[in-house]
A and B are shown apart, each in its own frame.
Chain A
Amino acid sequence: MNAYAMSASPVPDTHVVSDRLSKNAMRHASERVIEALLFAAAAVSVLTTVGIVYVLVSESIQFFASVSIVDFLTDTQWTPLFDDAHFGIMVLVSGTVVSSAVALAVAIPMGTVIAIYLSEFANPKVRELAKPILELLGGIPTIVFGYFALLIVTPLLQKIFPELPGFSLLSAGLVMGIMIVPYVASLSEDAMRAVPMSLREGSYAMGSTRLHTALHVVVPAAFSGLAASYILGISRAVGETMILAVAAGMQPNLTWNPMEPAATITSYIVQVALGDLPHGSIGYQTIFAAGLTLLLITLIFNILGQWLRRKFRENY
């Protein structure tokens, strides 16, 4: 900064000015330091990924030293803390799959209908009002949704299905679906709004109704974005923890029936973390193996989502 003050005297010769500036080495040095610091901050995100992979893989390697991968994938019991220990991850995966399926059965139709409504039917005023509501719904803490599932939705469902137990994948899944609706709706709406107006105008000019245009022109054109939003919904459902830990019970149960209680991959991790397992024990390592499974499942869906995006992207 002082370089400017010193060079305040009129110096017509441009060569001298640039010389002075170039001599101010500190100015450039501090710029370099700042750039390096900013880069370091950006690199933290990469370090986070490296850290996640390192922790999950290194603990899982120790786990798989004592449990074979074949047993892990094919055993039909999950009793890691019993004397007769079994480590069949499929038991937990079944809970995750069933609860996610229930959630998606709610979230995908509802989210899509809301998105189509907001992007093709609603007037701007309704849209201005609806978007913050969806955002607030998406911002509700999952533990509060868990409370909602256990103490409000389950008793309601028990009036319809009297045989429904106090903990069930069904009520947890339904509430999880409501939780995911805002994500699906807002991403799908973005995708549909990106479809150029000319396509809709062409369709209207041919005499189509709004609904026909929405379903037969806009939705196919925005398909890659819709698919991406569904995939994100799946990732959310698979990774959701607290709703399941509160409302689905934490009993490992190999089942495909949503009316039963069951543990999921995530709620098992919570259950172990709530207890007092010594660092380095096999029980401690199981949560990392479960976490690695979870990460791989979400990773597969992410890759699938990116592939769908690329494959079905329409260029305008």
Chain B
Amino acid sequence: MLKDFGYIGIFLLFAIAIPAGMLLLSWALTFVRVRPRKPNPVKYTTYECGMQTIGGSWIQFNFRYYLYALLFVVFDIETVFLYPWAVYFKQLKLFGFIEMLVFILILLVAFVYAWKKKALEWS
């Protein structure tokens, strides 16, 4: 088992080296004058379709996204319970089936509540 993860560790080194290497290569090309570098204060302003930038962007944001994050946490944790159950389902048989049915039904109450409260609507 540990040997399997060891391979992933080796693979991780390559997975880091490839994207980092690409960006470093691009950066190194500046010094052999292949990649241009012509600084200009206007060039480094924040893009806003050619208009002058008004204020910063690190501001308060629409509350709507927060609800989705909450829902995601609830239902993604549910899936954490579903995976081991699915793997051992053939051993658990009917007991496991009813057990999970009850669990999902409890969560479905929350889902229906969220739906009725219009947490799933965008506007």
Chain A bound to chain B: no
Q: Point out residues on B near A: beta carbons under 8 Å.
A: none
Q: Point out residues on A near B: beta carbons under 8 Å.
A: none
